[in-house]
Amino acid sequence: MANYRNKGGVAVIELNNPPVNALSFEVRSGLMNALKRAHDDKDVKCIVIHGKGKNFSAGADIKEFGGTKQQKPWITDACRLADESSKPVVAAIAGTALGGGLEVALFCHYRIGTPSCRVGFPEVQIGVLPGAGGTQRLPRLIGVKHSIDMITSGRHVMAEEALKLGILDKIVTDDIIEEGIQFAKSVVGIDVGGRILRNRKVEDAGSKVFDDEISRVKKKYKGYIAPLFCLKAIQASMQLPYDAGMEQELKLFQQLVSSGQAKAQQYTFFAERISARWQLPSGANSQTASPLPVKTAGVIGAGTMGAGIALCLITSGIPTVLVEQDQKFLEKGVKTVEGDLRGSVALKKMTAEQANKAISVLKTSVNLEDLHDVDLVIEAVYENLALKKEIFAKLDKICKSKTILCTNTSSLDIDTIAEATKRRDKVVGTHFFAPAYIMKLQENVYGKDTSAETVATVMALGKRIRKVPVLVGTCDSFVANRMLHPYATEALFLVEEGASPYEVDQALEDFGMPMGMFRVSDLSGLDIGYKVRKEAAKRRGIELTSDTRFVNGERVCLLANVLVEKGRLGIKSGKGWYNYGSPGKREATPDPEVLDTIEEYCRKYDIKKRKISSQEILERMQLAMINEGFKILEEGIVSKPEDIDIIWIYGFGWPKYMGGPMFYANEMKLKNVYRKIRDFHQNYPFSIHWTPSKLLARLSETDLPISKWTSLINSNSKL
Ligand SMILES: CCCCCCC[C@H](O)CC(=O)SCCNC(=O)CCNC(=O)[C@H](O)C(C)(C)COP(=O)([O-])OP(=O)([O-])OC[C@H]1O[C@@H](n2cnc3c(N)ncnc32)[C@H](O)[C@@H]1OP(=O)([O-])[O-]
Ligand SMILES: NC(=O)c1ccc[n+]([C@@H]2O[C@H](COP(=O)([O-])OP(=O)(O)OC[C@H]3O[C@@H](n4cnc5c(N)ncnc54)[C@H](O)[C@@H]3O)[C@@H](O)[C@H]2O)c1
């Protein structure tokens, strides 16, 4: 809907669809009618368009894209009269003017904004392109080069930059509506002809610019089709007259909007928001619980993870005390933090001033007592239960009674750690992913006594430090690593059976994963998994050797151990599954020595090798992990499939244009997924991960959409 009022000869039109004023059918119709009314009203001398509440408009209503056809009037129909009006039309922008919202503003003759407003064309992020003239009008306003940058990246442009680029005509500091009215009055009587973007010419940037951009975009947004379509549409603005360019844009938009990538990316957009709405088994949830304030924080352990976590906190302006066991470790950790900050400045991700500000809020210590006054502590010491319990017991005595105690453990039981304290309600897992400063996922793990207030606090903290927080329950390895286990195990079995590690990685990278499994292992260090496997086996009373082929009747492959025992630890030693030339180098080359080692291993155990297709590689790795995902859902470790998808997208780089593994399974049709898993179970009876999930079996008999899967778990039906 759009509201209309005449304020002393100024028609004030309000886009009314809070919270973000998405341009739904009602808003588009309302805007069209309001513009007509202003156009027809002789008393009206000028027109102001603004948004109700905090935002101008976040663009088209994405929910409407699911249908077959967008109902008319489209944004272009709604805005036609703004373009044609001889009365000046001013867009008064507060909050965001994104996508179709910015397109509305580009139909206006003038644009003013508040100092904190943001404009942009984020359509690429949901798999489409600006389809209401954005690709034709922006180049007419700011030129081809800047338009390519804004439209293919989808980035938000802040007010200052928008003013410099010429998107905004003025930044105003008082009430945006009043400022809009005053501005509009001030331009009454000035001919609007020169302000109408459709009448302008696009400068000829030459075709080479586009050839270069195609290569850049293909590399930077590997696998995504929308950025390439954006380039085609922008090129049309240069090559065609306005109306023909608009037709071309619409054609490209319609091709994209019906693509699988658009569907998956839009699913991801909403999944992220659904996942943010958490719920505990007690019923307490994100609507009912309030977070505690976190004014100061502490991090214990300044190793790989602790240094990165401290960096996340200080760059978000949270004063942090970093505690180590001794001065030597502390200095090493601080060097890492400083080095990463310098790296960010060099990469222009932050200014030197921002880096200095961050380091100024970091305090360091070798004494846990220095955490007595902080609001929240994140422990990131070695993965050792006794050590963690000892630290939590001490923290319980040292810290204020309200302080929340978090652990970055990647596998240990949260409840056991909480038992070391008298504040079990304030103990929670905050599982970050390496490198902690870069990876967006924050897997928050609640224990049986963790309070809703504690959960609300760590979920809010995640958002504040620019992570994507997802809430999961406690179980061995939690969700991300638990699902990774069958995925990685299948990769090793595939190698035993005949695929090379390089073929496995190629298949995964062609699918869209940023790195294959074996390259990731080399990056993390093969010795880490080696130690974890040995210790986990020891806890179960088993001595693992590289000759171990079965553990308690279950098939295992310890080829990675064989490599470690040959001194191949991954990037750190210059060789692992790949050869890197020398330690620390990143360029991976396939290594014949590794292939010989695999040959020898297979001969030793009389394993028959065969040719394995990339389809089989993907199916076995992905379906093994998806089956585990259904088990996690059926156990209630997560409350919805969207949580799993967001974990894989932000924890492991699953491509957004594939929507996450559970969405992917849904697209494959669950009856096919179930059938294939059952077949693998028959063919590989010694792998427990192929035991089909009961929930999957039940769901495969229904046509329930992904958004309704959990209704089957929550219903009384027995699984
Ligand atoms: C043939 C026809 C031609 C058609 C042509 C169309 C052309 C056009 O170029 C296409 C577009 O504009 S494409 C669009 C391009 N624009 C974009 O891609 C912008 C997408 N939006 C954003 O990036 C963020 O929402 C903001 C930064 C705006 C606000 O962030 P924040 O303050 O953290 O808030 P938040 O939590 O994120 O959102 C609050 C609530 O609003 C909901 N919602 C939001 N936008 C929506 C939308 N467009 N729609 C629907 N709903 C939308 C959101 O789901 C949430 O709902 P919930 O039920 O409470 O969960
Ligand atoms: N490395 C990863 O990829 C990764 C990813 C997610 C979670 N984790 C988890 O994060 C935690 C830390 O792992 P990491 O890889 O950073 O280990 P790390 O070995 O790099 O760092 C651990 C640090 O803890 C310090 N430390 C040990 N005892 C201490 C004490 N009593 N007081 C203060 N500091 C102490 C050590 O000196 C060391 O610097 C572990 O629980 C691990 O499972 C690791």
Q: Report whether residue 269 contacts ligand 2, using a CB cutoff of 6 Å.
A: no
Is 123 one of the annotated active-site residues of the chain? Answer: yes
Cβ atoms 383, 409 nearer than 8 A:
yes
For residue 383, give the 3-state DSSP assignment.
Answer: coil
Q: Which of 15, 20, 69 best tests ligand 1's pocket when mutated (most atoms within 8 Å of CB)? A: 20
In ligand 1, the atom with minimum distance to the C-alpha of 100 is: 12
Cα separation of 65 and 74, whole Å? 12
What would the mean pLDDT of 351-373 be, rounded to a whole number? 97
Cβ atoms 477, 632 nearer than 8 A:
no
What tokens does 345 get? 């400045």
Q: 173-219: per-residue pLDDT in tens? A: 999 999 999 999 999 999 999 999 999 999 998 889 999 999 999 99
Q: 267-279: per-residue pLDDT in tens? A: 999 999 999 999 9
Q: 545-599: per-residue pLDDT in tens? A: 878 899 888 899 999 999 999 999 999 999 999 999 999 899 999 999 999 999 9
Q: Which of 62, 124, 253 best tests ligand 1's pocket when mutated (most atoms within 8 Å of CB)? A: 62
Q: Report whether residue 126 contacts ligand 2, using a CB cutoff of 6 Å.
A: no
Q: 416-425: per-residue pLDDT in tens? A: 999 999 999 9
User: Looking at the CA of 274, which ligand is closest?
Assistant: 1
pLDDT for residue 548: 87
Q: What is the ipTM of this complex?
A: 0.96
Is 419 one of the annotated active-site residues of the chain? Answer: no
**3-state helix vs strand vs coil in the chain, percent to 5:** 55, 15, 35
- Comparing CA positions, the residue from 149, 12, 122 lying closest to residue 57 is 122
Q: 9-53: per-residue pLDDT in tens? A: 999 999 999 999 999 999 999 999 999 999 999 999 999 999 999
pLDDT for residue 714: 66
Q: 690-711: per-residue pLDDT in tens? A: 999 999 999 999 989 999 998 8
pLDDT for residue 718: 46
Cβ atoms 347, 399 nearer than 8 A:
no
In ligand 2, the atom with minimum distance to the C-alpha of 333 is: 39
Average pLDDT, the chain: 95
Q: Which of 382, 571, 647 best tests ligand 2's pocket when mutated (most atoms within 8 Å of CB)? A: 382
**Beta strands 10-15 and 2-7: pairing type?**
antiparallel
Q: Whose CA is nearest to atom 32 of ligand 2?
A: 325
User: Looking at the CA of 121, which ligand is closest?
Assistant: 1
Q: Report whether residue 380 contacts ligand 2, using a CB cutoff of 6 Å.
A: yes
Set out the domains of the chain in order of their start, with CATH numbers.
2-257 (3.90.226.10), 297-478 (3.40.50.720), 499-604 (1.10.1040.10), 616-715 (1.10.1040.10)
CA of 22 to the centre of ligand 1 (A): 6
What would the mean pLDDT of 128-154 be, rounded to a whole number? 98
CA of 297 to the centre of ligand 2 (A): 17
**Single-letter residue type at 101:** G
Q: Long-range contacts made by residues 175-182, C-beta under 8 angstroms, separation at least 24? A: 176/50, 176/92, 176/93, 176/94, 176/112, 176/113, 176/114, 177/12, 177/48, 177/50, 177/92, 179/92, 179/112, 180/12, 180/48, 180/50, 180/90, 180/92, 180/112, 181/7, 181/10, 181/12, 181/48
User: Looking at the CA of 18, which ligand is closest?
Assistant: 1
Q: Which of 299, 300, 305 best tests ligand 2's pocket when mutated (most atoms within 8 Å of CB)? A: 305
Beta-carbon contacts of residue 406 (< 8 Å; ≥ 6 apart) = 376, 377, 378, 379, 427, 428, 429, 430, 458
Instruction: Report the percent of the chain where pLDDT is more than 70.
Output: 99
Give the CA distances from residue 464 to residues 164, 232, 322, 481, in Å, rounded to whole numbers and listed in that order: 29, 37, 19, 24
- Comparing CA positions, the residue from 635, 542, 553, 660 lying closest to residue 264 is 660
pLDDT for residue 380: 97
Q: Whose CA is nearest to atom 25 of ligand 2?
A: 301
Q: Report whether residue 550 contacts ligand 2, using a CB cutoff of 6 Å.
A: no
pLDDT for residue 67: 65
* Catalytic entry in 64, 84, 103, 600: 103
CA of 528 to the centre of ligand 2 (A): 12
CA of 305 to the centre of ligand 2 (A): 6
pLDDT for residue 534: 83
* Catalytic entry in 123, 179, 324, 642: 123
Q: Report whether residue 370 contacts ligand 2, using a CB cutoff of 6 Å.
A: no
Q: Which of 381, 472, 476 best tests ligand 2's pocket when mutated (most atoms within 8 Å of CB)? A: 381
Q: Report whether residue 441 contacts ligand 2, using a CB cutoff of 6 Å.
A: no
Q: Report whether residue 383 contacts ligand 2, using a CB cutoff of 6 Å.
A: yes
Q: 38-91: per-residue pLDDT in tens? A: 999 999 999 999 999 999 999 999 999 976 567 999 999 999 999 889 999 999
What would the mean pLDDT of 151-165 be, rounded to a whole number? 98
pLDDT for residue 544: 82
What would the mean pLDDT of 101-108 be, rounded to a whole number? 98
What pTM does this model have?
0.94
Q: Whose CA is nearest to atom 4 of ligand 1?
A: 131
How many other CB atoms are there within 10 angstroms of residue 66's CB atom?
A: 10
Phi, psi of 406 (to 5 degrees): -110, 150
Q: Whose CA is nearest to atom 3 of ligand 2?
A: 434
Cβ atoms 473, 280 nearer than 8 A:
no
Q: 244-296: per-residue pLDDT in tens? A: 999 999 999 999 999 999 999 999 999 999 999 999 999 999 999 999 999 99
**Whether residue 715 has pLDDT greater than 70:** no
**Whether residue 716 has pLDDT greater than 50:** no
**Whether residue 719 has pLDDT greater than 60:** no
Give the residues surrounding ligand 1 with Cβ less than 6 Å away. Answer: 19-20, 22, 58-63, 70, 74-75, 96, 98-100, 103, 122-123, 126, 128, 130-132, 134, 253, 270, 273
What would the mean pLDDT of 109-116 be, rounded to a whole number? 98
CA of 199 to the centre of ligand 1 (A): 30
User: Looking at the CA of 275, which ligand is closest?
Assistant: 1
- Comparing CA positions, the residue from 229, 226, 228, 227 lying closest to residue 248 is 229
What tokens does 207 get? 């075709």
Q: Whose CA is nearest to atom 49 of ligand 1?
A: 61
What would the mean pLDDT of 316-330 be, rounded to a whole number? 97
